[in-house]
Chain A
């Protein structure tokens, strides 16, 4: 009965590879998000989707491409991974764009 789930929990890969992280929420929320938490624990929003429509796209390299096949899912695809992409990526969801956000368990990405 996990509210916001992410897979995988850990991802170790080589530079230059392409990888995807999946996120699903079973809360019936309309809005979903991707955040990046760096090694200093600083948490920064990357993307936000509302009803499958992109509403926030922070200054993120275009190697990062979110995809929302339906309101319950928001996946993150990363092309040509770089060392600096190593971080913990959190998915979140909220009932609407102005409500509190519920976070997933995070995906720790390590690029070697």
Chain B
């Protein structure tokens, strides 16, 4: 079955630290990939998406992600985090074979110490 794994359940960083959140998926075919963010008490917002173009994708608020097909990974990065980045981060995969059905990872809670 198709699945998305986010191995870090809770990450705690200090401001200005660098961030990398892991995401791996299990599906052999072509995929679209997403990172969504959910700030406390708010709805999900799209951070960035990969739709078969450059494997290094830049998103909003200084986030970027790299698609490595051979590793089935789509890790999220930010060189210097801010307190306002405290949120839940969700990786998601949409296999081409089942368009419209996005499979979400279990989320990674990011806490930033001021």
Residues of A within 8 A of B (CB): 4, 31, 33, 40-45, 48, 50, 55-56, 90, 92, 94, 97-98, 100-106
Contact = CB atoms under 8 A, between A and B. Distances in A.
A15 B94 CA distance: 35
B17 interface: no
B45 A97 contact: no
Interface stretch (B18-26, B71-79, B101-109): B101-109
Interface residues of B, number: 23
Interface of B: 32, 34, 36, 38, 42-46, 49, 88, 90, 94, 96, 99-104, 106-107, 109
Interface SS of chain A: helix, strand, loop or mixed? Answer: strand
B107 A42 contact: yes
Contacts of A31: 100
B101 A48 contact: yes
B42 A44 contact: no
Given A98-B94, A98-B99, A100-B49, A42 B43 contact: no
B102 A45 contact: yes
A97 B102 CA distance: 10
